[in-house]
Homo-oligomer: A and B are copies of this chain.
Amino acid sequence: MSTTIDSTPKADGYRMPAEWEDHSGCWLIWPERPDNWRLGGKPAQAAFTTVVAAIAETEPVTVAVSAAQYDNARQHLPAGVRVVEMSNDDSWIRDCGPTFVVNAAGDVRGVDWIFNAWGGLVDGLYFPWAADDAIARKVCEIEGVDRYRTDFVLEGGSIDVDGEGTLLVTEECLLSAGRNPELSKDEITERLCNYLGVLKVIWLPEGVYLDETNGHVDNFCRFTSPGHVMLTWTDDENDPQYARSLAALKILEATTDAQGRKLEITKIHQPGPITITAEESAGVDAVDGTLPREPGDRLAGSYVNSYIGNDLVILPIFNDPHDAAAIAAYTELFAPRRIVTVPGQEILLGGGNVHCITQQRPSGK
């Protein structure tokens, strides 16, 4: 019950809403692959269940799960959560799921980007990725929304919008060799405007240091309200993150949004740096062709990688000295929404965090 449409959202009067606009639900994928999640995925499954339970307090949640894990997921997830069978290669529905767009009448459609596991055969993180690439279509079928299938490689985590015409991206990701190397920056800008219904793209150079997604913006810099962004920061000038954050700060200070506003910028100091322990590494299957998880590897931990639900925000924390400042900043930025913290380490070990594992379904209202 999902017709494929050949035009573009912009041409049809659709735009991607900001994450703080009203949701009618949220989707996740149950984690399981043992070459990415330690100990057969059991600690990650518990961590995802905590996130699901928190989101389910504020909006309906659907969890997609493989046939093999269906019974196990159904038993662990809260009864009020919808569980549907869906083949997958991993559990990052922010990146392989549809990007929902809405029009002024409140109609909702899905944009089905080409997904190639963050770089395909150039620097992708696993092979194959065909099941993940089919996720967006299957979600659109179940949601009963029509679908734009694009010829453009993109993950939902590489974009962030204010809902009023402005988009944040990083050059590190969108100009990477593993995505759309045949397109110029101008051509990519045009496609982003057409498929997201935005008027202005703010290009930041790079994202978080060692982020295996090639610097997804959702782990680095995101809108918190129209005219206001939060930016991953470090005060340590010797940390490789410093130059990245400073370069972004200068661009953000010098630009305006699509409505002509100067941007307010809230710096959120990064946790850690956080690294993989020997025990954590030992629980991950070694498989040729999948990114290894070696002891001592630095993880791209970030407080920016949160989920903005209907009346709460899910914020990953790391038992880190910087947790308190992040919580305080979020409390102010997102009032009157409640800030619900969840342990972020287990999801971070898989390569992302709360925002990466969720995909809101806007209500269109």
Q: Which residues of chain B come closer than 8 Å to A3, judged between CB atoms?
A: 79-80
Complex Cα gap A131–B66 (Å) = 12
Residue interface mask A52-66, B partner, CB < 8 A = 1 = 000000001010000
Q: Which of B1, B71, B79 contacts A80 (CB 8 A)?
A: B1
Structural contact, B82 and A85, CB atoms closer than 8 A: no
Structural contact, A60 and B134, CB atoms closer than 8 A: no
Structural contact, A83 and B141, CB atoms closer than 8 A: yes
Complex Cα gap A1–B84 (Å) = 10
Looking at A67, A85, A138, the one whose CB has the most chain B CB atoms below 10 A away is: A85
Q: Which residues of chain B come closer than 8 Å to A142, judged between CB atoms?
A: 82, 84, 142
Please classify how large the interface on chain A is, using the bins under 10, 10 to 19, 20 to 34, 35 or more: 20 to 34
Complex Cα gap A139–B3 (Å) = 22
Q: Which residue of B lies closest to A146 (CB)?
A: B79
Q: Which residue of B lies closest to A71 (CB)?
A: B134
Q: Which residues of chain B come closer than 8 Å to A60, judged between CB atoms?
A: 1
- Interfacial residues of chain A within 136-163, with CB under 8 A of chain B in the complex: 137-138, 141-142, 144
Q: Which residue of B lies closest to A144 (CB)?
A: B82
- Interfacial residues of chain A within 321-364, with CB under 8 A of chain B in the complex: none
Complex Cα gap A141–B82 (Å) = 6
Looking at A62, A81, A134, A141, the one whose CB has the most chain B CB atoms below 10 A away is: A141
Tell yes or no: A129 within 8 A of B by CB.
no
- Interfacial residues of chain A within 84-102, with CB under 8 A of chain B in the complex: 84-87
Structural contact, B1 and A82, CB atoms closer than 8 A: yes
Q: Which residue of B lies closest to A86 (CB)?
A: B85
Q: Which residue of B lies closest to A61 (CB)?
A: B1
Q: Which of B71, B79, B82, B138 contacts A84 (CB 8 A)?
A: B138
Q: Which residue of B lies closest to A60 (CB)?
A: B1
> Chain B nearest CB: distance from A233 CB in Å?
40
Tell yes or no: A70 within 8 A of B by CB.
yes
Complex Cα gap A85–B86 (Å) = 6
Q: Which of B70, B79, B137, B144 contacts A138 (CB 8 A)?
A: B70
